[in-house]
Structure 1
Amino acid sequence: MKLHADKPDQLSVTAHGDGWISVNGERYSSSVVLLASGSVRPWGVTRLEELTAEHFSELIGSNAYPPELVLLGSGSRLRFVAPALLRPLIEQRIGVETMDTPAACRTFNILAGEGRRVVAALLIEA
């Protein structure tokens, strides 16, 4: 079995609780988008009902390598958005998985650790 040292610059969720997550030790109390490429950016959503197709379009980005998969963390409990909102991702053949935010955090850590092109859009409710 070949073992590799963890990459110290890899982005990962290091903790989470009610109304917050910690990414590489930095605490966030509002919704964020995590990119496996190593960046965290704000996601201007406070409630699932506020989501629009434009929120999902912005997850694709403008780089040459769009994500393979988008993880939607729907907050403290599992909730689904209307399928029409996901059209921008589906049209680009990008997979979408919806789960509660803590599960999305754990899944992001695993997939990013495997080197997958994954984006986590995490709804953090106040």
Structure 2
Amino acid sequence: MKIDRNPVAPGPVISGFARGGFRIDDNIYRALLITPQRADGWTPPALDVLAEDDVAPVLALDPPPEFLLLGTGDALVRPSPAFIAAVEARGIGVEAMDSRAAARAWSVLRAEGRWIVGALYPLGG
């Protein structure tokens, strides 16, 4: 019996950081919307005006994701209570952390086969 100690779930994998963005395959995304099926560049609004509609493409999965992993840039910044309430009203949790931590968490959680989505704000520099 073969045991794979490093399982990789199908879909995009954030393999590192480059030029202020996130490396996925041969692409660099400054800001990112990511699902278990695809990764897309994103032009996010200022975090204090982030609304459910801004992340709607990743929330529309079937089945719905367990939670939205929200990377808030270089530092953790809490999203507005209205944003959290709107996403949670769909039955989807919100986990906010700085974007580097969110990228690392994405890889770990997807390796576990978790059905999650992400919205990652740019890194500084």
For Structure 1 versus Structure 2, the TM-score category normalised by the shorter chain is 0.7 to 0.9
CA distance in 2, matches of 1:83, 1:125: 23
Identity over aligned pairs, percent: 27
Q: Which runs of 5+ in 2 are unaligned?
A: none
Greater CA deviation, 107-116 or 44-53?
A: 44-53
Matched, 1:28 2:26: no
Q: How many pairs were matched up?
A: 123
Q: AA paired with 1:32?
A: L
Shift of the alpha carbon at 1:114? 1.1
SS in 1 for 2:23: strand
CA distance in 2, matches of 1:7, 1:13: 12
- TM-score, normalised on structure 1? 0.82
Q: 1:88 aligns with which of 73, 86, 89?
A: 86
Q: AA paired with 2:52?
A: A
Q: AA paired with 2:29?
A: Y
CA distance in 2, matches of 1:120, 1:42: 12
Confirm or deny: 8 A CA contact 1:46 1:123 kept in the other structure. no
Q: State the partner residue of 1:48.
A: 47
Q: C-alpha deviations, 1:19-64, integer Å up to 9, x for none? A: 21111242112x111112x301232215323412322444311x43
Shift of the alpha carbon at 1:101? 0.1
Matched, 1:11 2:22: no
SS in 2 for 1:13: coil
User: Would you identify which runs of 4 or more consecutive aligned residues in structure 1 move more than 6 Å?
Assistant: none
SS in 2 for 1:92: coil
Q: 2:72 aligns with which of 71, 74, 87?
A: 74
Q: Which runs of 5+ in 1 are unaligned?
A: none
Greater CA deviation, 86-95 or 100-109?
A: 86-95
- TM-score, normalised on structure 2? 0.83
